[in-house]
Structure 1
């Protein structure tokens, strides 16, 4: 049974599916949104443990979603990974170094995804954490952190398998290309 919710907000179904495929099955509940408005509404209703947010989105841009998250104390503590095909889109609005969120440039691989998730979790702790009653909730977050750390280790293992499979596929493609070149030479 999934114990962590990850919200992937991206107008590209390919990116949403790719993120889903890179995460171990059964460990995460992946929630998807195809535009910023739907994504922001899901952030407020689903209480995700991690948000992966594209910067260019229809209806409500990633920049607008980011600003809305920052206005609500309970939302700004959620680990956030901003995604974009062009980093300069993000740095035009948010100068580096990124203090409270991680950034991953598209296209990304499983290793980059895991690194970005880890970085987002660390950076989210820089903001003061508030419990639902308004007090400090560092003890409650410690439990979530250890669970997420275990999940990250599981992700690392899956990424290693994916990378091995990709390497095998590269070799097979290179062999196929060599074979085709020989036939047509």
Structure 2
């Protein structure tokens, strides 16, 4: 199923990104000076690639179809699980950006703890979240959606991706991830 295959591929990129966040957190913990611009780029990647691009497809396409077609079980799984975790990820990104801004004028241990807490909290959340989606949510969708509904997800995903391609979303963020991974990991 194209839509789900693409989401799984994006998960691999997001996991690589979380490794960058963890490595930057370790470096800060060990006393290295924080590269503020790099951390701001990490927040941008989290907000635009992980959330707007990836979670956008899940929420607007796959999850919507699952809730509409698969009833209460899917609705509980999505609304009480996956969407709650998406919102928690957004919280971590917002708080991380606030901590970055604060760090520019206050390099205290308290601010460093906020940076580490939200960067690693986000990384851990996404790792567990991705494991659940790959093992439970996506397999449930593939097993339970009709062929017609799967085709609808695929078509809407193609449209979403064409728009992102026009704006070079994937190209820009994956190029950034490749470069930063070489430097950091």
TM-score normalized by structure 2? 0.30
> Which structure's residues are more often helix, by fraction?
2
Between Structure 1 and Structure 2, which shows a larger proportion of strand residues?
Answer: 1
| TM-score w.r.t. length of structure 1 | 0.30
> Whose RCO is larger (CA < 8 A, sep 6+)?
2
